[in-house]
Amino acid sequence: MMSDRPHFLLIVVAALVYLFLMLPLVIVVGAALSDTTYLTFPPQGLSLRWFENIFEISAFRRTIITSLQIALLGTLIALLIGIPAAYALNRFRVELPKWLGTLFVLPILVPEIVFGFALLKSFTVGTGAPIFLSLLIGHTLIVLPYVVRVISASLASFDFSIEEAAISLGSAPVKTFFTIVLPNVRAGVIAAFILAFITSLNDVSVSLFLTGPGISTLPIQILAHVEQFFDPTVASVSVLLMFLTVAVMAVVERTLGLTFLAK
């Protein structure tokens, strides 16, 4: 029933922008399916051999495992320290200083590559901490802002008088948090987990400095591989990552509805 529609030319521009966004990803998928030893599109002879090749190269096998470990652990730690922080920021808005909220956004405000370098120089080299630990700390911090922000957003629409009602009915505060508050921001926690996990999995700038003999992450390995070989292995790894993204988005769609991610 609404009558005003954007100008025809604007619709054309938007369509072209979406084509520009989608086409390169389609090309990557095509290249991954090619039977040739070089990258080409449209694929010549369909084959899944390059997918097998991923797991034959031990560097890929190892880094996939490291990346998954780091992403999972980093996200869990970030949730563990981020949820109480987000709760405190909302519940004690008046009592806590304003800069505290800004502090938790800092890891995405300062250039990531600077953070990676600083962590290497001042922490890893300075204290001789193991690479894996440094990597984990780095990833925990870069996903922390997402956790705090997404969960704060959920808590902002949470009516704290519900919590007070539960406490007035005799529920202990800590128990109330787990039985009343947390279930009401469940959607936020799931979204935070997913966003953090994907961010960690895709990270380049921090991991760049925190890799060493035997320890590297998948994106860093892809970068290294691309600079030496120009075969479709990387395309198939990319497709694998895209599938993972699609799977995650499907889970989000099932649980929260997709437009949730746009908020």
Partner 1 sequence: MTQPLALQAVSAHYGTTKVLEDLSLSVQAGELVSLLGASGCGKTTTLRLIAGFLTPTTGSIQLGGRDLTRLPTHRRDIGLVFQNYALFPHLSVLDNVAFGLKQRGIGPAERRKRAVAMLERVGLAVLADRAPGALSGGQKQRVALARALVIEPPLLMFDEPLSNLDAKLRVDMRVEIRQLQRSNGTTSVYVTHDQEEAFSISDRVAIMNAGRLMQFDRPEVLYRRPANTFVARFVGFENIIPFKVVARDGDRVTAETAGMILRLSQAAYGAIPDSFLLATRPDGLVVSTDPMAEGLSAQLGLRTYLGRAYQYQCDTQAGHLVANGSLTTPLEAGTSVKLVPMPEQCTILPADGAR
Partner 2 sequence: MTSRRFWRRNGATGWALSAPATLAVIGFLLIPIGAVIAGTFMDPRGVFAPYIAYFNSGFRTTVLFRTLQISAITTIISLIFGFMTAYVVSRAPGKLKSLLIVAAVFPLLTGVVVRAFAWLIILGRNGILNQTLLGLGIINEPLEMLYTQGAVVIGMVYLFVPLMVLSLVGVLENIPKDVLQASSSLGASPMATFWQVLLPLAVPGLIVGAVLVFTGSFTAYATPQLLGGERQTVLATLLQQRAMVSFDWVGASTIAAIMTVITITIVLAMSHVARRINPMAT
Q: Which of 56, 111, 179, 251 binds partner 2 (CB under 8 A)?
A: 111
95 part of the interface to partner 1, by CB under 8 A: no
- Given a contact cutoff of 8 angstroms between Cβ atoms, the answer to whether 28 and 238 are in contact is yes
Binding-site partner at residue 87 among partner 1, partner 2, none, CB < 5 to 8 Å by type: partner 2
Indicate the SS3 state at residue 83.
helix
Binding-site partner at residue 1 among partner 2, partner 1, none, CB < 5 to 8 Å by type: partner 1
Other beta carbons within 10 angstroms of residue 190's beta carbon come to 17
Per CB under 8 A, contacts with partner 2 among 180-199 are 198
Per CB under 8 A, contacts with partner 2 among 28-87 are 28, 31, 38-41, 80-82, 84-85, 87
Helix axes 233-255, 186-202, angle to 10 degrees: 170
Tokens 């380049």, residue?
A: 204
CB of 4 to partner 1, least distance (A): 7
| CA 174 to each of CA 17, 177, 179, 182: distance values in angstroms, whole numbers, following the listed order | 49, 5, 9, 11
174 part of the interface to partner 1, by CB under 8 A: no
What track of x and - describes contact with partner 1 for positions 3 through 42 (by CB under 8 A)?
A: xx--------------------------------------
2 part of the interface to partner 1, by CB under 8 A: yes
Q: Say whether the peptide bond before residue 42 is cis (omega within 30 degrees of 0).
A: yes
What is the DSSP secondary structure assignment for residue 64, as one 8-state letter? H
169 part of the interface to partner 1, by CB under 8 A: no
Residue 55's identity, in one-letter code, is F
The whole-angstrom separation of Cα 80 and Cα 196 is 13
Q: Which is nearer to partner 1, 2 or 9 (CB)?
A: 2
168 part of the interface to partner 1, by CB under 8 A: no
Binding site for partner 1 (CB under 8 A): 1-4
